[in-house]
């Protein structure tokens, strides 16, 4: 999960909350499934709100 937080493949802004950022990272150990990590970026250190494999995305 650290790789997805520190070096994501893609960044997306949250549609409803500007403080949140979606970080997407393909995880080779899990068949390149995409891990979506939602982070509250305005806090220090950044707070992970949730993380899950996004079934809608494949790499």
Convert the pLDDT of each residue in 26-58 to its tens digit. 999 999 999 999 999 999 999 999 999 999 987
Could you give the CA distance from residue 43 to residue 37 in angstroms, rounded to a whole number?
A: 15
pTM: 0.88
Alpha-carbon distances, residue 3 vs 15, 18, 51 (angstroms): 24, 23, 13
Does residue 1 surpass a pLDDT of 90? no
């Amino acid at each position: 999960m650290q790789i997805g937080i520190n070096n994501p493949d893609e960044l997306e802004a949250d549609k409803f909350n500007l403080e949140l950022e979606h970080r997407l990272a393909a995880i080779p150990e899990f068949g390149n499934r995409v891990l979506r990590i939602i982070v509250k970026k305005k806090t220090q250190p950044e707070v992970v709100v949730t993380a899950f494999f996004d079934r809608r995305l494949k790499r």
